[in-house]
Amino acid sequence: MTTHLGVFNRLLLATEHTEFDAGAERVALALAAHLGVALPVVLTIAGNPEFDAVAPELAARADAAAADKLHQLRGLAEAQGVQLAIQVRRGAEPYREIVDEARAQNSELILIRRRGRVGMLANLLVGETVSKVVAHAPCSVLVNARGAQLWRRRIVAAIDPQAPDAAVLTRAATLAAAFGLPLTLICVWPGTGERPVQPALDAALSRARALGARVDTEQLAGRVHEQIIAATRRLDADLIVLGRHGAKRAPRAFIGNVAQSVLGLAECSVLVCVPEDSVQGAMP
């Protein structure tokens, strides 16, 4: 196992150990094993003191189900030689419990599924809880589809030509160097006519090489999320790195349209980076 790669040393897996969490759990266990670090886990149970007082039998049933899930998860971790540190948190809004646990753990990366059972909200590409975790997280978030695997082929990083995010470039280049993978930096210009993306790409290329990455670049034009997804498939990449917001910085509790669309449509894991100038304030 490789340690001290300067990538992520403080992970947090957020899971309910359902079929939808399989990809997040698989990636989290593989990453923890690769880095040689323990894996903190937060398992959330929906509930509140008032409900538990009225229906204690349902709360007890939920606790028993959680204990069974944790037993199964420990078995998976033992098979890979990963030590788990599990915290069960109960709350009316699971995303708050996940974000609060990340703060308590001083986590560098939250690993989470893309969505669960969507029911009547079948049009949602990304689950509501996941969207809120990404929006409020004090650290980067790795969102994983059910079939996600730890990256082994290529990393794609989306560089915003209008407002390049240093966190995206630094994280992508560091990961590429640490895992010995090629990195492709993509700049997509959404307009027509002249595409003023070359200065952003040139600066990003120089910085990525200085961080030890094997890197190339691509200039593309069109709808940004469509171009990112198409390039990822064409390049056979298995990790996308992008920023939480677009060129016009929004309040922290917001995911840009590009990030939301890529999260919902990507077949591989998507790493959403917190801007380096992000203020780690409290949730509303």
Domain boundary among 144, 176, 201: 144
15 lies in the same domain as 138: yes
Q: What per-residue confidence (pLDDT) applies to 203?
A: 87
| Residue 1 resides in a domain | no
pLDDT at 185: 95
Q: Considering 144, 174, 209, which residue would you say is the last residue of a domain? A: 144
Residue 172 sits in the same domain as residue 263 = yes
**What is the pLDDT at residue 3?**
40
Domain presence at residue 66: yes
* Number of structural domains found in the chain: 2
Predicted local distance difference test score (pLDDT) of residue 116 = 63
| Cα 271 to Cα 284: distance, rounded to the nearest angstrom | 24
- pLDDT of the residue at 195: 66
Q: What confidence score (pLDDT) does residue 127 get? A: 80
Q: Within this chain, do residues 203 and 238 fall inside the same structural domain, yes or no?
A: yes
Instruction: Determine, yes or no, domain membership for 280.
Output: no
Is 16 in the same domain as 140? yes
pLDDT value, residue 280: 44
Q: Do residue 106 and residue 167 come from a single domain?
A: no
**Whether residue 128 sits in one domain with residue 166:** no
pLDDT score, position 239: 98
Q: What is the CATH number of the domain that holds 80?
A: 3.40.50.620
Residues 15 and 140 in one domain: yes
Contact 166, 273 (CB under 8 A): no
**Residue 28, domain member (yes or no):** yes
DSSP symbols for 106-155: T-SEEEEES----GGGTT-SS-HHHHHHHHH-SSEEEEE-TT-----S-E
pLDDT at 128: 85
Note whether 188 and 259 are same-domain residues. yes
Considering the domain architecture, whether residues 70 and 170 belong to the same structural domain is answered as no
When computed from its CA atoms, the radius of gyration of the chain, rounded to whole angstroms, is 19
Nearest-angstrom CA–CA distance, 63 and 141:
27
Q: What's the pLDDT at 277?
A: 55
Residues paired with 12 in a beta bridge: 110
Distance set, CA 242 to CA 14, 59, 155, 258 (Å): 20, 39, 11, 9
169 with 78, same domain: the answer is no
User: Which range of residues forms the domain containing residue 132?
Assistant: 11-144
Residues 171 and 134 occupy one common structural domain: no
Print pLDDT tens along the chain (284 aa). Answer: 344 445 888 999 999 888 899 999 999 999 999 999 999 999 888 766 655 555 566 556 766 677 778 788 888 899 999 999 999 888 888 999 999 999 999 999 999 998 765 443 334 567 888 999 999 999 999 999 989 999 999 999 998 887 778 889 999 999 999 999 999 999 988 766 666 677 888 888 999 999 999 999 998 888 999 999 999 999 999 999 999 875 444 444 457 788 888 998 898 999 999 876 554 444 44
pLDDT given for residue 90 in this prediction: 86
**Residue 31 maps to a domain:** yes
Q: Is 284 inside any structural domain? A: no
| DSSP designation for 216 | E
Do 175 and 268 lie in one domain? The reply is: yes
From 106, 122, 144, give the residue that closes a domain. 144
Give the global pTM.
Answer: 0.86
Whether 6 is in a domain gets the answer no
Residue 2 placed within a domain: no
